[in-house]
Structure 1
Amino acid sequence: MAAFSTEFASKGEVKDLRMFMHQLGRTMAAGFQVNDGSSLQSLEDCMNRVWSSLNWGWAQLIEEADCLIVVHHASPLKVAFGSAALEWSPALLEGIYAQWFDGLGMDKSLRLQQRGGVQEDGQLFIYELKKQAEEPSYFTRR
Structure 2
Amino acid sequence: MQDEHTAPLLDYYTRHQTSVQWRGFLSALAEEFETQLDTSQLRTLMARIGVRFAARYPATGCTTLDDLASFLNGIWSELDWGFVRVVERDDYLSIEHSCAPLAAFGERAAPWASAFLEGAYQHWLRELGAGSLALQEHPSANAHAYEFRLS
TM-score band w.r.t. shorter chain = 0.7 to 0.9
RMSD: 1.3
Structure 1 segments of 4 or more deviating over 4 A? none
Query: Which residue in the other structure is 2:16 paired with?
Result: none
Q: CA deviation at 1:86?
A: 0.6
Deviations 1:111-134 (A, max 9, x none): 1010026841xx21000000xxxx
* TM-score normalised according to structure 1 size: 0.84
* Consecutive unaligned residues in structure 2, runs of 5 or more: 1-25
User: What is aligned with 1:137?
Assistant: none
- 1:15-74 CA distance string (max 9 Å, x none): 111011111101111011322321101110000100011100011101011100000011
Larger helix proportion, structure 1 or 2?
2
Query: Could you tell me which residue of structure 2 aligns to residue 37 of structure 1?
Result: 62
Where structure 1 has 5 or more consecutive residues not aligned to the other structure, the ranges are: 131-142
Which residue of 2 is the match for residue 124 of structure 1?
Answer: 145
Match of 1:23 in 2: 48
What is the SS of the residue equivalent to 2:95?
strand
More strand by share: 1
After TM superposition, the structure 1 = structure 2 runs for residues 24-103 of structure 1, keeping only pairs within 5 Å, are 24-79=49-104, 81-103=105-127
Q: Which of 128, 146, 151 is 1:104 aligned to?
A: 128
SS in 2 for 1:10: helix
Name the CA distance, whole Å, in 2 between partners of 1:118 and 1:7. Answer: 30
In the superposition, the TM-score normalised over structure 2's length comes to 0.79
**CA deviation string 1:90-124 (max 9, x = no partner):** 0000000000011112132x11010026841xx21
- Give the fraction of aligned pairs with identical amino acids, expressed as a percent: 31
Aligned residues of 1:35 and 1:46 also touching (Cα < 8 A): no
Aligned counterpart, 2:4 = none
